[in-house]
Amino acid sequence: MTNLFTRRDFLKLAGILPISITAPRILNTFESLGRVQNKPQNVLVIVFDTWSSYHVSLYGYPRETMPNLAKLTERAVVYHNHYAGGNFTTPGTASLLTGVHPWTHRAFQPGGKVVESLISKNIFSAFDNFYRVSYSHNLWANLLIRQFRGDLDEYIPKRKYFLTRERRAEDQRFFLDSDSIIPTLFGNDEDLALVSWLRTFEKNETGSAYSLFLSPLYEQYRKNYYENQFADIEAFFPRGIPKDDYDIFTLEHAIDSIGNLLTTTPQPFMGYFHFWPPHAPYNTHKEFVGRFLDDDFVTTPKPLDLFGDEGPKSKHRMEYDEYILYVDREFARFYNKLESSGLLENTWVILTSDHGEMFERGIEGHRTPVLYEPVVRVPLIIFEPGRESRLDINANTSAVDILPTLLHVTGQASLEWTEGSVLPPYRPIQTDSDRSVFIVHADKNEKFSPLKVATVAMIKGDYKIMYFIGYKELGEDRQRIELYNIKEDPEELNNLLEIELEIGNEMLDELKMKLDKMNAPYQLNS
């Protein structure tokens, strides 16, 4: 890694020495470095949560969900077979931030954290000569970012870009709400305290909370507060103001704030920004409500999965697609702001997601034992400084490839602990086109035990195998295996396990050998 004196070094030195001593010499150093290096290369990773490639028009989805993105990608590298590390926030985000698979980082339970050995091995520590800044709307993603806070120059608290915090500051009142109480009383344990608050006071998707007495009172209080304070914003969101599990925001607010922040951030910078949309609830802007209501889109009929339940999913699918339109508009505004500020001239912009979403086989959402394509294949688009034409990449790629790729393209040293490869077209030597890509779901498994209740998928060439183990729903055998040719059968309708015996056995043997290797360090705990 380069040893050049950076702006971050200047900020540290300036904090311990008198400015009259440090400023003239160090500023002269920066001026000479600027002349030698020209513009430094920045890195910007943008994550939109729960964003499936199977719902993006750019990737062949019949509904035109992202017209702005389609235009912007005429100057980008577009990856068509890119896979998340897991199928919900914790494992998917942890793989993005560490460059390793869930069976290595072990953050595969809801709200989990990476193992201690990886706390100093993350995307922020890898760019230690850059100014590192990060923000997330998502509580579970934020828990991971806070683990790496020691490697950040600027950590933006989760509540920063939520509306309730801003409004309460304006009228100088103290409200009985998590957004006020938790930061005040539990500053060092804010995220854990918030989880406890949610469980006690806030109703979950099934309509219940830990406290049957306090929860209804709290809900009525919040209803009255929102009606009085946010009527002006609510007019733009007929389905309700966008919200995460407990509070409200607008994507415009976060996009504008971060766009303004980046224009004044010291360079070179490494930024990781993780936005909630299009994660449920799908509260899109009024401009997009009903956009697909009367279209002729028809879903492909698929059998009910063992882990699914009966019931149509078309209504929420349409709302999800309309929420993606909101993401499309706001990302285009963000991109245009970066371009008008001149930042795109020397900034690598990575646009991706932590996992996808499903509305089929009786399954709605993403935290499920199944690893079908809609819930694990996610967009990956790289906007490279100076690129003027589109390049499409059809190789199988993984979330763990992003960190080593960013290090490579910015001239940083590679890291031996990452498990990914440098992405094409940037890799110096073309590697095996039939490399194996892995996805892991193990939210019911103990963190430090071998994976005994889990689903592991492996993609190799045109084929994908899914290996289910340990679930009680599987009956006495406690395992299930599925094999698909995802190039010829992208909807995964034809299980080829008993037809393509040789391919199936080879892939299953490879997957089991990999699983045994990754389980080995934890066998003593079982």
Q: What is the pLDDT of residues 201-244, one digit of tens each?
A: 555 545 666 676 666 666 666 655 555 578 889 999 999 999 99
**Where do the domains of the chain lie?**
40-162+249-525, 163-248
pLDDT tens figures, 512-522 = 999 999 999 99
Beta-sheet pairing, 131-136 with 269-275: parallel
Residue-level pLDDT at 191: 63
**Residue 115 · residue 417 · CB < 8 Å:** no
Residue-level pLDDT at 505: 97
Range of weakest confidence among 220-224, 427-431, 506-510: 220-224
Range of weakest confidence among 38-52, 141-155, 217-231: 217-231
Residue-level pLDDT at 232: 86
**Residue 72 · residue 335 · CB < 8 Å:** yes
Residue 289 pLDDT more than 50?
yes
Q: What's the rounded Cα separation, in Å, for the pair 168 and 396? A: 47
Range of weakest confidence among 63-72, 304-313, 434-443: 304-313
* Coil vs helix vs strand at 406: helix
Among candidate residues 103, 142, 130, the one with its CA nearest the CA of residue 9: 130
* Coil vs helix vs strand at 79: strand
- Three-state secondary structure of 318-343: HHHHHHHHHHHHHHHHHHHHHHHHCH
Judge residue 526's burial from the number of C-beta atoms within 10 Å of its C-beta, 0-12 exposed, 13-18 middle, 19 or more buried.
exposed
Residue-level pLDDT at 206: 53
Domain covering 40-162+249-525: architecture: 3-Layer(aba) Sandwich (3.40)
Q: What is the per-residue DSSP string for 229-256?
A: H-HHHHTT-TT-S-B-SS-B--HHHHHH
Helix (H) or strand (E) holding 483, with range, is strand 479-485
Average pLDDT over residues 43-65: 97
Residue 6 pLDDT more than 50?
no
Q: What's the rounded Cα separation, in Å, for the pair 163 and 137? A: 12
Angle at 134 between CA 132 and CA 140, to 5 degrees: 140
Contacts of 257 (CB under 8 A, 6+ apart): 160, 161
* Coil vs helix vs strand at 77: strand
Residue 525 pLDDT more than 70?
no
Angle at 75 between CA 71 and CA 81, to 5 degrees: 85
**CA-derived radius of gyration, the chain:** 23
Q: What's the rounded Cα separation, in Å, for the pair 49 and 281? A: 12
Q: What's the rounded Cα separation, in Å, for the pair 321 and 55? A: 7
**Residue 402 · residue 96 · CB < 8 Å:** yes
Residue-level pLDDT at 18: 43
Mean of pLDDT over the chain: 86
The pLDDT confidence band at residue 168, using thresholds 50, 70 and 90, is very low
**Residue 133 · residue 261 · CB < 8 Å:** yes
* Coil vs helix vs strand at 352: strand
- Three-state secondary structure of 166-179: HHHHHHCCCCCCHH
Which string of b and e fits 364-397 if b means at least 16 CB within 10 Å?
bbbebbbbbbbbbbbbbbbbbeeeeeeeebebbb
Average pLDDT over residues 308-335: 91
pLDDT tens figures, 378-408 = 999 999 999 999 999 999 999 999 999 999 9
Among candidate residues 199, 203, 205, the one with its CA nearest the CA of residue 219: 203
Q: Show the beta-strand stretches assigned E in 54-193.
A: 77-83, 131-136, 154-155
Amino acid residing at 239 = R
Residue-level pLDDT at 208: 64
Angle at 123 between CA 119 and CA 124, to 5 degrees: 80
Residue-level pLDDT at 246: 75
Range of weakest confidence among 19-28, 151-160, 189-198, 384-393: 19-28
The pLDDT confidence band at residue 51, using thresholds 50, 70 and 90, is very high
Q: How many CB atoms lie within 10 A of CB 266?
A: 16
- φ/ψ of residue 353, rounded to 5: -145, 165
Q: Which residues pair with 82 in a beta bridge?
A: 397
The pLDDT confidence band at residue 90, using thresholds 50, 70 and 90, is very high
Q: What's the rounded Cα separation, in Å, for the pair 346 and 70? A: 22
Percent of the chain whose predicted confidence (pLDDT) is above 70: 78
Residue that has been written with the tokens 């854990």 in this structure: 192
Average pLDDT over residues 159-165: 81
The pLDDT confidence band at residue 200, using thresholds 50, 70 and 90, is low
Percent of the chain whose predicted confidence (pLDDT) is above 90: 73
Residue-level pLDDT at 8: 46
Average pLDDT over residues 505-516: 97
